[in-house]
Structure 1
Amino acid sequence: MKKIISLSLAGTLLVGLSTGCATTKDAVKGGSGAASSGDNKPVTLKMTVLPDDQDTFKLVLDEFKKENPNINVQIDTIPQQQYYDKLRLQLSSGEDIDLIGGNMDVFLDTGILEPLDDYIKKSNMDVSGFGPLYDNLKVNDKTYGLPYRKSNWMLYYNKTLFDQMNVPYPKADMTWDEFREQAKKMTKGEGANKIYGAFLHPWAQTWYMQAVQTGASIIDKDLTPFKKALQFRMDMENDGSIMSWAEQITTSAHYNSAFQKGNVAMNLIGDWHVAQLRQAEQEKKISFDWDVVPVPHPPGVPANTSLATPVSLMLNKNSKHKDEAFKVLQFMTGAKGAKIFASKGFLTGYTNDEIRKAYIGDGSMKPKNIHYFVEQKEYPEYPLLPGVKNILVNNVYKQEGEMALTKAETVDQAIQKIGERVQKEWADKYAKDFKASKK
């Protein structure tokens, strides 16, 4: 039985910003308050989005304006490296921003996010296209943002290498153990000319992925699935079928350059790699043929189960025009906006047959099996609670995983320390206010 994370949030910490926090009851009660204009007078909203998404948001806004000529939207952005810190500062100082784009967990401790549930109900918004992500993104059974895009993982493979070595291509339904055996078959040679059966990037996600595929969470008390996952990565290093973590670091090996070099048979990485490989082909940097299949899965887990990192659009609770702002949010994240995002190569939070076709395109570009991206079942890569990414993903799991991969600790020691650090560095700070339960 799969475990689906249901995130719950106590209200006490949602007062982090000096702007205060409205209760859900006050947030929307037959509307969004007297400050909202419901008589079709011209309204101007401000929306801040990530720089890579800005151009596509403008295209979606052009379509939105055709249906809502009275609502004007000023779209702003902030350089990527400063984005979240600067945006949090702007919001805490009361800057007039109506809509916020980005990773929802970054803003949950600020109290600045407006619950959307009453707006969704009032507008009869169809949320079925979001699939399991809709409920998985809820905090304290409330919806604080809707995903307009997401990043999922896939297994890329060098068809030319497989043909040369007369080995069957990776299967669409392949367990991790089968993947390991496939990597062994595709490994040959030594030194600079060695062919590696697979490449697993140094990120912690590439080893803990198979635990999350089962529905496990990185904040669980029982980390047994993560122990198995870390041991699996080390076993593949011992096989010699993947580059060791130490060699990756000392040689600055990168998944993109490593795969484009042509001596890696299989590459486990996210959907963004499609654009990188297409660009490399246009620039004639690669000549081999390539395709994708779903990432390997643990026994008992359905094929094409992946991790997803949702990027959401959120409503500022201090917006003076909440009804109009929600109209924008609904359009941007719903079917109409998703079709435009999909046509520009984004995996969207909302999907249907028309959106899938827009993403897949006319079949003239690789990968041939791009359809797998829009057929996945996804679990959030990590619980969308404050501090989980910054404290646990970027520090605890990364650091202790590296200690095991460099053999400074055993796998048992690393997992034990992860459990201890989850409690001391995250749970002691957040768990009393931010609860995660399993269904």
Structure 2
Amino acid sequence: MKKTLSLALSVILTGGVLAGCGGKKAEPTPGGAAEGEQKPVTLRMSVLPDDLETMKASYEEFKKENPNITVNFETVPVKQYYEKVRMQLSSGEEIDLIGGTMDVFLDTNILEELDDYIKKNNTDVSGYGPLYDGSKVNGKTYGLPYRKSNWMLYYNKTLFDQAGVPYPKADMNWNEFRELAKKMTKGEGANKTYGAYVQQWPQTWYMQSVQAGASIIDKDLTPFKQALQLRVDMEKDGSIMPWAEQITTSAHYNAAFQKGNVAMNLIGDWHVAQLRQAEDEKKINFDWDVVPVPHPEGSPANTSLATPVSIMINKKSKHKEEAYKVLAYLAGPQGAKQFASKGFLTGYTNDDIKKAYIGDGSRKPKNLHYFLEQKEYPEYPFLPGVKNIIVNTVFTQETQLALTGEQTVDKTIQKIAERVQKEWADKYGKDFTAGKK
């Protein structure tokens, strides 16, 4: 009997060992994932509407290597985007990742510092070039740029051909731009062809001062007088759509240029993707190309303003490590290649990304390469309140008074300088320092 029981016990034990050596699944860890597997994590990310589809495509590639990380993307129309996201963050909504211009969120104290993550993960930041140090605030990194917005002059080749006027030159100063715009302007009313379209944004006129090395937070804004005067004079010429007409008709650079009665359009790199989409949808039937934006006398040709568009982490995110992994991929070489192939300038760049940006040459514009050859100045210092207070409020409000004839150019620049000091510098100027220019 003892031998029989011993033999039976031996068989049971042996079977248990063999079963353990076979296909039995590992027991779940306390965190819910099997041993050796990564815990599933779901992240929430706010993305600018123009970037949504490309961001999703980049994420699909990321997920092949990181199946445990799910990212739910969301967006709202661009006019409400920043206000909406700021409200969501301030109310405590669990948003993990934020896409956009970093300065808009700096005053919220909601952004996670990234320097330790960059060091810990040995993230290669060399591909960001001067944007990396230039985007630091008080020496700290709060976001990595997945793309950047540089300016270019788009022109309707068909209109120039019909007028028998040579195309805009790659080395053209602002006075030459004005004269060319006058030459290309003709007609009246609904049939009028404008020599140029200059969007209402103050950047479109103060650009030439920044190209020459000035900054909108300087105490002395005298260099900006000439820039604003040019905008006022071009309205008087009738060679650009007046500011008041733009406002009353809700005019927009993209629709205006696609209509086919604007010879030159001063706008950013994102317009490439918009025009390509319009071509794919058979919405435009004219030829077009790009040249560098006009430059001030004494400044080199192809000098542009640049604004990095970054990915940031919410300081209150419950999954910061996973969020950084997503950030580093989407803003790194892999994500950059996706954006470059769609016609976006990228924050990170290398030879492969440049090739992806240029493509096979089958898509317009012919001279896309100018974007990769630019000398860049920051559009404005990336400090708290600069975009919201100085650009969107002070410059915008005072520019309106100048363009509607309610105050002189001299008075406008004087009031802007006074308000910058009172409304911004007294609040932020002593506590924040921008990165290297």
Give the counterpart of 2:47 among 40, 46, 50.
50
In the TM superposition, 1:426-437 aligns within 5 A as 426-436=424-434
Maintained 8 Å contact 1:210/1:297? yes
Distance in 2, matches of 1:261 and 1:74, equals: 38
In the TM superposition, 1:225-374 aligns within 5 A as 225-374=223-372
Maintained 8 Å contact 1:304/1:372? yes
User: 1:160 offset after TM fit, Å?
Assistant: 1.5
Q: Between Structure 1 and Structure 2, whose CA radius of gyration is higher? A: 2
Distance in 1, matches of 2:404 and 2:138, equals: 40
Maintained 8 Å contact 1:45/1:325? no
Distance in 2, matches of 1:143 and 1:423, equals: 26
Does 1:406 pair with 2:404? Answer: yes
Q: Which residue of 2 aligns with 1:223?
A: 221
Alignment partner of 1:41: what SS? coil
Distance in 2, matches of 1:406 and 1:51, equals: 32
AA aligned to 2:330 is M
User: 1:195 offset after TM fit, Å?
Assistant: 3.1
Alignment partner of 1:408: what SS? coil
Distance in 2, matches of 1:56 and 1:108, equals: 26
Alignment CA distance shift 1:111-1:399 (3 Å): closer
User: 1:45 offset after TM fit, Å?
Assistant: 4.5
User: 1:148 offset after TM fit, Å?
Assistant: 0.8
Distance in 2, matches of 1:153 and 1:41, equals: 43
Distance in 2, matches of 1:197 and 1:86, equals: 37
Distance in 2, matches of 1:54 and 1:261, equals: 26
Distance in 2, matches of 1:192 and 1:435, equals: 49
Q: Which residue of 2 aligns with 1:211?
A: 209
User: 1:403 offset after TM fit, Å?
Assistant: 1.2
Alignment CA distance shift 1:88-1:163 (3 Å): closer
Give the counterpart of 1:152 among 147, 150, 153.
150
Distance in 1, matches of 2:119 and 2:237, equals: 54
User: 1:170 offset after TM fit, Å?
Assistant: 0.9
The alignment's TM-score, normalised by the length of structure 1, stands at 0.83
Distance in 1, matches of 2:80 and 2:262, equals: 34
What per-residue deviation string (whole Å, max 9, x for no partner) do you get for residues 171-217 of structure 1?
Answer: 12222122122223323344444432222122211111111222322
User: 1:94 offset after TM fit, Å?
Assistant: 4.6
Maintained 8 Å contact 2:97/2:314? yes
User: 1:100 offset after TM fit, Å?
Assistant: 2.3
User: 1:358 offset after TM fit, Å?
Assistant: 1.6
Alignment partner of 1:183: what SS? helix
Give the counterpart of 2:388 among 384, 390, 395.
390
Distance in 2, matches of 1:107 and 1:184, equals: 41
Distance in 2, matches of 1:438 and 1:314, equals: 20
Q: Which residue of 2 aligns with 1:41?
A: 38
Distance in 2, matches of 1:40 and 1:149, equals: 33
Alignment CA distance shift 1:284-1:67 (3 Å): closer
AA aligned to 2:82 is Y
Q: Which residue of 2 aligns with 1:185?
A: 183
Distance in 2, matches of 1:257 and 1:114, equals: 38
User: 1:85 offset after TM fit, Å?
Assistant: 4.0
Q: Which residue of 1 aligns with 2:18?
A: none
Q: Which residue of 2 aligns with 1:62?
A: 60
Q: Which residue of 2 aligns with 1:11?
A: none
Structure 1 residue ranges without an equivalent (≥5): 1-34
Distance in 1, matches of 2:237 and 2:85, equals: 46
Q: Which residue of 1 aligns with 2:20?
A: none
User: 1:371 offset after TM fit, Å?
Assistant: 2.3
User: 1:413 offset after TM fit, Å?
Assistant: 0.2
Distance in 1, matches of 2:83 and 2:197, equals: 33
AA aligned to 1:243 is M
Alignment CA distance shift 1:399-1:87 (3 Å): closer
Maintained 8 Å contact 2:204/2:266? yes
Distance in 2, matches of 1:268 and 1:51, equals: 22
Alignment partner of 2:177: what SS? helix
The alignment's TM-score, normalised by the length of structure 2, stands at 0.84
What per-residue deviation string (whole Å, max 9, x for no partner) do you get for residues 96-134 of structure 1?
Answer: 443222221122122222222232233332222212211
What per-residue deviation string (whole Å, max 9, x for no partner) do you get for residues 253-296 of structure 1?
Answer: 43233323333211111223223333433444432211111111
AA aligned to 2:247 is I
Q: Which residue of 1 aligns with 2:108?
A: 110
Distance in 2, matches of 1:337 and 1:266, equals: 32
User: 1:347 offset after TM fit, Å?
Assistant: 2.2
Distance in 1, matches of 2:251 and 2:379, equals: 23
Distance in 1, matches of 2:52 and 2:262, equals: 34
Alignment CA distance shift 1:45-1:217 (3 Å): farther
Distance in 1, matches of 2:367 and 2:109, equals: 42
Maintained 8 Å contact 1:116/1:143? yes
Alignment partner of 1:389: what SS? helix
Root-mean-square deviation (Å) = 2.7
Distance in 1, matches of 2:243 and 2:388, equals: 22
**How many residues are paired up?**
403
Q: Which residue of 1 aligns with 2:419?
A: 421
Choose between structure 1 and 2: higher helix proportion.
2
User: 1:365 offset after TM fit, Å?
Assistant: 1.9
After the TM superposition, which of the residue ranges 391-400 and 276-285 deviates more from structure 2? 276-285
User: 1:414 offset after TM fit, Å?
Assistant: 0.4
